[in-house]
Amino acid sequence: MDLMTTYAPAEASERTGLSLDTLRYYERLGLFGPVRRTTTGRRVYSDHDMAWVGLLVCLRNAGLGISDLQRLMGRLRDRSGGPTGVVELLEEHRSRLHGEIAKMNLALGVLDDKIAHYRGEAGQSKK
Amino acid sequence: MDLMTTYAPAEASERTGLSLDTLRYYERLGLFGPVRRTTTGRRVYSDHDMAWVGLLVCLRNAGLGISDLQRLMGRLRDRSGGPTGVVELLEEHRSRLHGEIAKMNLALGVLDDKIAHYRGEAGQSKK
DNA sequence: CTGTGTCCTGGAGTGCGCTCCAGGTCAACT
DNA sequence: AGTTGACCTGGAGCGCACTCCAGGACACAG
């Protein structure tokens, strides 16, 4: 059927930027997979796996915790049961993310203030 | 001059939003203080302490780790030795922060895509 | 004086997200 | 056949940033 590309663990690791351990870790937690195996038990990652992991990495970068991912992935997995709230979950995090960004920008402002402050003021403070 | 307000631990905690434990923890790590004590050993936080802690909270929010704070605070502390690189340190983190924000925005984009994707594909057109 | 509350200390425990390890199987090259 | 080396498993260990706890000492209202 599909003659799709497959990846040995090492290559999967390289392509995703995750360590072998982390890849296995994510799989163990059910964040993706199960990954196909050779008869002798070695993992064979598919394009599909890779895409999934790519999403995982992205969401982790976006600040979602492992448990968030577990919930999310669980829902994406069995989308057979009607309204599973995937969109809601994503949107919820989306607004969280906005909040984070706002907070960071705020901190950035404070940082700028501090920089200006410490650069402007020579060598003595103390009130 | 010494008409400055002081704060009992409980109040300091309330005002900074940090737990008593965390306040003590930060102090132990040398992130601020040393905090004055009563003759019997109880902490008495000053306005100065509070301001310092405020900065700490802000920088933590901005994503600096404890060790960053230790370095930073150490440098702010003894600004007697000329160029201590405080500004550099802050600016360095400032750009890190920019990077983080960029990353988040990117993730946000992916999230939006996913939302659009799963909304479009799942229960058919909605919106 | 006594009870209740706040605080003290040092150290152990927690949750997260990996990361490392021992001890083994299997693949590939020479 | 021998020798690497990639990979397997389950479980231990780690670094971070707290958080909790036991056991003890003031604080102060009644």
Nearest CA-CA distance, residue B50 and chain A, Å: 14
Closest by CA position to A64, among listed A86, A22, A107, A94? A94
For strand C, is any atom closer than 7 Å to the CB of B10?
A: yes
Q: Which of residues 89-118 of A touch strand C (CB under 7 A)?
A: none
> What percent of chain A is modeled with pLDDT above 90?
39
Q: What is the pLDDT of residue A112?
A: 77
Pairing of strands B6-7, B43-46: antiparallel
Contact A125, B78 (CB under 8 A): no
State which H helix or E strand residue A45 sits in: strand A43-46
Q: Highest mean pLDDT range out of A2-6, A53-57, A114-118?
A: A53-57
Q: What is the pLDDT of residue B127?
A: 33
Q: Which nucleotide is nearest to A25 (CA to C1')?
A: C18
Question: Which residues of chain B are within 8 Å of residue A17 when distances are taken between CB atoms?
Answer: none
**Bigger pLDDT: A75 or B39?**
B39
Mean pLDDT of all residues belonging to chain A: 82
Nearest CA-CA distance, residue A111 and chain B, Å: 7
Nearest CA-CA distance, residue A56 and chain B, Å: 11
Query: What is the CA B28 to C1' C4 distance in angstroms?
Result: 29
Closest by CA position to A73, among listed A58, A56, A61? A56
Is residue B21 scored above 90 in pLDDT?
yes
Using a 7 Å cut-off to protein CB atoms, list the covered nucleotides of chain D: 6-9, 11, 16-21, 25-27
